[in-house]
Amino acid sequence: MSHFAEHPSPYLLDEAPEALVASPNAGQPSYIKDHRQRLRSRFRQGGAEPMPDYELLELLLFRAIPRRDVKPLARALLDRFGDFNRVISASDTRLKDIDGVGEAVVTELKIVEAAAQRLARAKVMQRHVVSSWDALLDYCHTTMAHRETEEFRVLYLDRKNVLIADEAQGKGTVDHVPVYPREVAKRALELNASAMILVHNHPSGDPTPSGADIDMTNQIAAACGALGLTLHDHLIIGKSAELSFRAEGYL
C-alpha cells in the first residue's frame, strides 16, 4: 500500500511537499479551487480596499496552504489578534499558538510585514523630515504600533534635517526598554548627524509618557546639548495615536 493510501489527508498543517508547492492545484477540491480563483479575480479587478481583512488574509494563506480551505484559519487569526495589521505584526511564537499555523504561514505573514515596513521606510529615508512629517508618522506606526514589547529607535538627521539613519537602540519588555543616552549621542557623532528624533512604542496602546520616559528624554537632551546636537522631538507611538514631546511641552 502506498504512503498516500495509508494517510489520505496528510497535509493538515501548512507545510506542503515540494510537488504541491510547484503545482498548488494538484488534488485540490474543486470548490476550494473555484473559491480561490474568484477571490484572486476580485482582488485583481477591484483591489484590496473593498476586501475585508479575512479575505486579504485568505489570499496570503493560499500560498502557504495549497489544498485546504483557509477561511477558518483566517477567522481564527483575526479572532485572536483583532485585525490584519496585528496579525502580520504578531510574534512567531504567538502566531504558532493558533492551530494550523506552522513555518510556511509565519513566513508568508512576515514577508508581508517586512514589505510594508520597507515601503513606508522608503518614503522617509533621505527626505526632509519637516516636509514629510506625515509619512514619518506613518512609518513609525507601521513599524512599531503593533509590537508586543517596547522598542526604542533613533532617527538621525543631517544639517538640512534630512533623515540619514534609522536605528533600533534597544528592545525590552512590555513596559520597559533600556536606553543609554551616551550611546545615542555617540552614535550621532559617528554618523556625522546634526540632529535626532527619538521614537519608542507603548504596547499598552496609550502613548502617555511615563516618568522614566521623561527622565530618559531629559538625559538625552542634556547629552545632545553638550555635544552641539539638536533633539527635535521624542515620539511615543500607541496603537492608534502618537504623542509628541515637543507638541506637549516636554521639550
Same domain, 157 and 226: yes
Q: Give residue 225's domain range.
A: 123-244
Same domain, 154 and 88: no
* Cβ burial, residue 71 (10 Å; 0-12/13-18/19+): middle
Measured CA to CA, the distance from residue 43 to residue 51 in angstroms comes to 8
Q: Is residue 3 part of a domain?
A: no
- The CATH number that applies at residue 237 is 3.40.140.10
Backbone angles phi, psi at 237, to 5 degrees: -100, 120
The per-residue pLDDT string of the chain (251 residues; one tens digit each, 9 = 90 and over) reads 444 343 333 334 454 433 344 444 555 667 788 888 888 998 889 888 888 999 999 999 998 898 889 999 999 999 999 888 889 888 888 899 999 999 999 999 999 988 988 888 777 777 787 778 888 888 888 888 888 888 899 999 999 999 999 988 866 554 556 778 888 988 999 999 999 999 999 988 899 999 999 999 999 999 999 999 999 999 999 988 899 999 999 98
Number of domains in the chain: 2
Q: Is residue 113 part of a domain?
A: yes
Same domain, 64 and 152: no
pTM above 0.75, yes or no: no
Q: Is residue 100 part of a domain?
A: yes
Q: Among residues 74, 97, 117, which one ends one of the domains?
A: 117
